[in-house]
Amino acid sequence: MKIAFVCTEAVPFAKTGGLADVAGVLPKYLERLGCEIKLFIPKYYSIDETKFNLHYNWEVGEIYIRIGGHLRSAHVYQCKLVDSNVEINFIDCPHYFHRAHFYTNDADEDERFIFFSKGVIEALQRLKWAPDVIHCNDWQTGLIPLFLKDNYSWDKLFEKTSTLFTIHNIGYQGKFQKTALAKAEIDEKYFFPMGPVEFYNDFSFMKSGIFFSDIITTVSRTYAKEILTNDYGAGLQNLLFERRNDLYGILNGVEYSTWNPESDDQIPFNYSVDNLEGKLKNKEYLLNHFGMTFDNDVPLIGIISRMVEQKGLDIFAESLYDLLKIRAQWIILGSGEDKYEELFRELVLNYPDKFAAYIGFNNELSHLVEAGADIFLMPSRYEPCGLNQIYSLKYGTVPVVRNTGGLADTIKDWHDYKNTGNGFSFNDYSGEALVSAVKRAVETFMDKIAWKKIQANGMKEDFTWDSSAEEYLKLYKLAVSRKNKS
């Protein structure tokens, strides 16, 4: 089975969130199941050619892509994903990808990913490599299924190629003005009237992905159901409902060679479920690092998050008055909207022994927070999957989450008498519900026996990629068998 896996970030090359964790790891597991994989990502400015031993592919050479009235050229650089034979193809075009951020609000944001998507298809042509499935991820790749059905339908290379489109987050849809149609050379018939790429008079790349792909997946079972509703579908619920028989939820896995306190080389003290001493030392180290007092009886609550509405920071802000009354310390790692960055900066200034924050992206610190915190808070308004709560389980850092999406599928509420559960969850999207869940966690923290049991329940769980990769493989096979019948 030949799979082209197309994504706009992948660890260890480029990461803004969980998408990168998925794209840099899942292909390896698919390869172990016998797939031949080529991964495609843009060659961003920050990707270090020397460190990753990138080499130029002469077979592909220079590809010209007509876009927005200009002829732009793409080149392909390659290397292998570590510990695997997965070939990574970096689509290079400094004009589009040498920017301060991977995603921008620049006027040509549409062009950047039209270019990338066409670049992938044209690179496949030059490589003369016909994938059985092109696995597209999120709106940035949402035009590929349409391009294959229309702009490139002449090419027999793709005669047997199916497409699978994974929605990692329906909240980001890639909506652009109608002028993007011409840039992409997409026929107007797809726009008018109420066409498959039109969304309230905008051109939606996400909608195109959902409409034209053969199979659609999202990253947890619960989110797959939620996005069919008005509350969670972000306007695409009706289309998703029409396609519900082709829509599947597959939970993301975890790469335990990276996220495991027993072997994690980014934390100062390793530890395991049988000996949690190292965890305590990490907590002390972390608190010292931020100049805070260490007291084993005061729980440390961690947050690692993109600071955006999705992550429930509005109900956090709303309930601050009550949260401050709880005997706990807080460590926050993240960046995003100004209002949240400012809020956390202020909290650190006003309560220096209660709040520590690092505003920015820091991979090493994310491991240390997982290892050093006692509790991990993720009060998301919606959460397609969420990886941090799953990492937290392995690190014995008890998650407090809102019962939604992937959080609902991974975190089971602690039950006092039965001794079951691996965290604390709440239903209502409200400050009150959030505070009450945090209080429950903090009270239980004082009961050392119960706490150890919750930690152990979580640490013993296994969310490795193996079974999820098998589910993807089944869907690839389904897509191929349908194609053969048609």
Which residues are at the interface with ligand GLC (CB under 6 A)?
17-19, 22, 168-169, 219, 252, 383-387, 406
The nearest distance, CB 409 to ligand GLC, in angstroms, is: 11
Binding site partner of 423, from ligand ADP, ligand GLC, none, Cβ cut-off 5-8 A by kind: none
Among ligand ADP, ligand GLC, none, partner that 22 touches (CB below 5 to 8 angstroms by kind): ligand GLC
Strands 87-92 vs 63-67: parallel, antiparallel or unpaired: unpaired
CB of 18 to ligand ADP, least distance (A): 2
Q: Among residues 252 and 392, whose Cβ is nearest to ligand GLC?
A: 252
Binding region for ligand ADP (CB under 6 A): 17-19, 21, 304-306, 333-335, 361-363, 366, 385-388
- Minimum CB separation of residue 163 from ligand GLC in Å reads 18
Query: Which positions ≥6 away from 152 have C-beta within 8 Å?
Result: 121, 158
Instruction: Identify whether the C-beta of residue 378 lies closer than 8 Å to the C-beta of residue 332.
Output: no
List beta partners, residue 37: 3
CB of 237 to ligand ADP, least distance (A): 20
Distance CA 403, CA 429 (A): 9
Q: Which does 362 bind (CB under 5 to 8 A by kind): ligand GLC, ligand ADP, none?
A: ligand ADP
CA 238 from chain center: how many Å? 24
Least distance CB 22 / ligand GLC (angstroms): 5
Residue 354 or 381: the one with the smaller Cβ distance to ligand ADP is 381
Q: Report in angstroms how near the CB of residue 394 gets to ligand ADP at its nearest.
A: 13
22 versus 86: smaller Cβ distance to ligand GLC: 22
Crossing angle for the helix pair 363-372 and 277-289, nearest 10 degrees? 130
Supply the minimum distance, in Å, between the C-beta of residue 20 and ligand GLC: 8
Among all residues, whose Cβ is closest to ligand GLC? 18
Distance CA 29, CA 27 (A): 5
Across the strands, what pairs with 458?
none
Token pair for 205: 């790349």
In terms of CB distance, is 145 or 406 closer to ligand GLC? Answer: 406
Q: At closest approach, how far in Å is the CB of 169 from ligand GLC? A: 4
Closest CA to 136 of 162, 104, 155, 97: 162
What does 219 interact with, of ligand ADP, ligand GLC, none (CB < 5 to 8 A by kind)? ligand GLC
304 binds, among ligand ADP, ligand GLC, none (CB under 5 to 8 A by kind): ligand ADP
The total of other beta-carbon atoms located within 10 Å of residue 398's CB is: 28
Contact partner at residue 361 from ligand ADP, ligand GLC, none, CB < 5 to 8 Å by partner kind: ligand ADP
- 335 interface partner picked from ligand GLC, ligand ADP, none, CB below 5 to 8 A per type: ligand ADP
For residues 10 and 398, which CB has a smaller minimum distance to ligand GLC in the complex? 10
* Nearest to ligand ADP of 15, 99 (CB atom): 15
Residue nearest to ligand ADP (CB): 18
The CA-atom distances, in angstroms, between 55 and each of 59, 94, 95 are: 12, 16, 20
Residue 333, contacted partner among ligand GLC, ligand ADP, none, CB below 5-8 A by kind = ligand ADP
- CB closer to ligand ADP out of 362 and 436: 362
| Sole residue written with tokens 């991979």 | 363
Phi, psi of 24 (to 5 degrees): -85, -5
Comparing CB distances to ligand GLC, the nearer of 406 and 431 is 406
Q: Is the Cβ of residue 89 or residue 410 nearer to ligand ADP in the bound state?
A: 410
Binds 350: which of ligand GLC, ligand ADP, none (CB < 5-8 Å by kind): none
Q: Which does 363 bind (CB under 5 to 8 A by kind): ligand GLC, ligand ADP, none?
A: ligand ADP
Q: In angstroms, give the least distance from the CB of 380 to ligand GLC.
A: 8
Query: Which one, 67 or 304, has the nearer CB to ligand ADP?
Result: 304
Show Cβ contacts of residue 107 under 8 Å, excluding neighbours closer than 6 positions: none
Taking the CA atoms of residue 238, residue 240, residue 242 and residue 246 in that order, the dihedral angle to the nearest 10 degrees is -170
Which CB atom, from 121 or from 286, has the smaller least distance to ligand ADP? 286
The entry of ligand ADP, ligand GLC, none near residue 23 (CB within 5 to 8 angstroms by kind) is none
Report in angstroms how near the CB of residue 195 gets to ligand GLC at its nearest.
27
CB of 305 to ligand ADP, least distance (A): 6
